[in-house]
A and B are shown apart, each in its own frame.
Chain A
């Protein structure tokens, strides 16, 4: 009986962790900054929170572009909060050295010379076998507790504003 109850408690405390990124894609832009060629790597993906009553906050991790077991490129991301059923959007942009970009382009059979000629690439969808989502850290918050906390914060701000306005009126 105790084992069954313990199992129920354990299962009910578990949450569904996002495992795969949704619609991952990248794009490259080539900029000319003061005569120097600069590559800008943009990556976007979604992280789905499938839980109905748990929000994921302070979500940190990496998007790894992989080729088999080898990590070709790792991009860190941070998301403040993914509420229940929400799709958290990772939309990052970073300057990248040619030597770091080349393996990513080679993986997708994109010629560097074409990238230079066209001043970048179109959006390239990443196949699920070439992308890995790593969730390094996150906090689980019960949605009701989180919403009550945010509501209390808002009320405090509104009260402060009203008090400030009253003071202004009194001074007039």
Chain B
């Protein structure tokens, strides 16, 4: 019986999953390490300031959150996510009209932040999965190489 060499398939699989893992890592950790702490800082600083200062900080936080995390977009909403849609409509109109964002808005901004955090967590967990699958491919590849040799 002809000895089938699956080495190329394992190599391709290992490379593709590593690339996917790197992409997921960049996207997720940028959010986890840079964006989310920045928003949290803006919200925390904002609630200690006067009306004008709070408005500036909350507005800046909203403009950051308005750009969704790659894995927590604003296109599809489940039952839990419908509140997010309403929050977007509310803040879009407020910022558009030049109205002040006040302390009551903090909880809604936290809601958007939590959605972003769920997205980055999903990305991070998927990255781990990809790394595990990649490792399996590399082990299989190494085994195949030894068998052929």
Interface residues of A (CB under 8 A from B): 52-53, 55, 81, 83-86, 143-144, 146-148, 150-151, 153-154, 157-158
Contact = CB atoms under 8 A, between A and B. Distances in A.
Contact of B96 (A53, A85, A150): A150
Interface in B28-82: 52, 59, 63, 66-67, 73-75
B92 A143 contact: yes
Contacts of B66: 143-144, 147
A84 B88 contact: yes
Contacts of B74: 52-53, 84
A85 B95 contact: no
Contact of B93 (A86, A151, A153): A86
A24 to B, nearest CB: 22
Contact of B92 (A147, A154, A158): A147
What 7 A-B pairs have minimum CB-CB distances, sorted nearest first?
A: A154-B98, A52-B74, A83-B92, A147-B95, A52-B75, A85-B89, A150-B96
Interface residues of B, number: 17
B114 interface: no
Contacts of A150: 95-98
A86 B75 contact: no
B67 to A, nearest CB: 6
Interface of B: 52, 59, 63, 66-67, 73-75, 85, 88-89, 92-93, 95-98
13 contacts: A52-B73, A52-B74, A55-B92, A83-B89, A84-B74, A85-B88, A85-B89, A144-B63, A144-B67, A147-B63, A151-B95, A151-B98, A154-B98
Interface of A is mostly: helix
A85 B93 CA distance: 11
Given A84-B92, A144-B66, A150-B95, 8 more contacts: A81-B96, A83-B89, A84-B89, A86-B93, A144-B67, A147-B63, A147-B95, A151-B98
